Structure 1
Amino acid sequence: MEGVGWIAAIIIGGLAGWLAGKLLDVRYGVLLNILLGIVGSVVATAILAQFHIEVAGGRLGYFITGFIGACLLIVLVKLVRR
């Protein structure tokens, strides 16, 4: 995503991960949820790009993709940890 700097990407991705952790009621800890949000942003952006789907640009778009990606990664981590 263009228009989002590294620091903003970390903050927004972390917020998205934290929110996804709250929504999915997981207790992995704040740090892991933040990490999942940041990594989830990258993963969701790559997946959506493969299907030629663009989410709103800027910080809002990064937050949406981070939230979607974090939710996907949290579900995957839940499956692996069982």
Structure 2
Amino acid sequence: MELLVSILVQLVGGGIGGNVIGQIAKKISLGPTGNSIVGAIGGWLGTWLAGMIPGLEGMLGTAAGAAATTGLDIGALAGQGVTGLIGGGLLTAIAGAVKNATMKQA
């Protein structure tokens, strides 16, 4: 159950991050649906990549940290939400920039 909640926090954080970037930088926006989907994927990937950084794995509540504790850790969920937000925003910005670059060439 804790794993499902963690993944949902990452996906929702990423979707929010993608939509925020889409609203701030209209030129790289993929539309609300595209921003949400790419942002959610970026949120999950961003948290996964951040968990590989030494010292962050315990803070983000990765599999090893989650197995050692029981119940939901609010601090870990907050960390996952923030990294999901950042990861979602970054991947949305990259995807929007790539889309714009390919559209100019066509």
Same fold, TM exceeding 0.5? yes
Go from structure 1 to structure 2 and tell me whether the alpha carbon gap of 1:8 and 1:78 turns closer, same or farther (over 3 Å shift). Answer: closer
Which residue of the partner structure matches residue 67 of structure 1? 85
Structure 2 residues not aligned, in runs of 5+: 61-74, 102-106
Give the percent of matched residue pairs that are identical in Structure 1 and Structure 2.
Answer: 22
Aligned residues: 81
Distance 1:78 1:48, change over 3 A: same
Q: Partner of 2:71 in structure 1?
A: none
- Shifted more, 20-29 versus 38-47: the winner is 20-29
Q: Which has the larger radius of gyration?
A: 2
Which runs of no fewer than 5 residues in structure 1 stay unpaired?
none
Normalised by the size of structure 2, how large is the TM-score? Answer: 0.57
RMSD: 2.8
Please give the secondary structure, in 2, of the residue aligned with 1:57: helix
How is 1:1-80 mapped onto 2 (pairs within 5 angstroms)? 2=3, 4=5, 10-25=11-26, 26-52=28-54, 53=56, 54-55=59-60, 56-58=75-77, 60-80=78-98
Q: Specify which structure has the higher proportion of helix.
A: 2
| TM score, norm. by length of structure 1 | 0.68
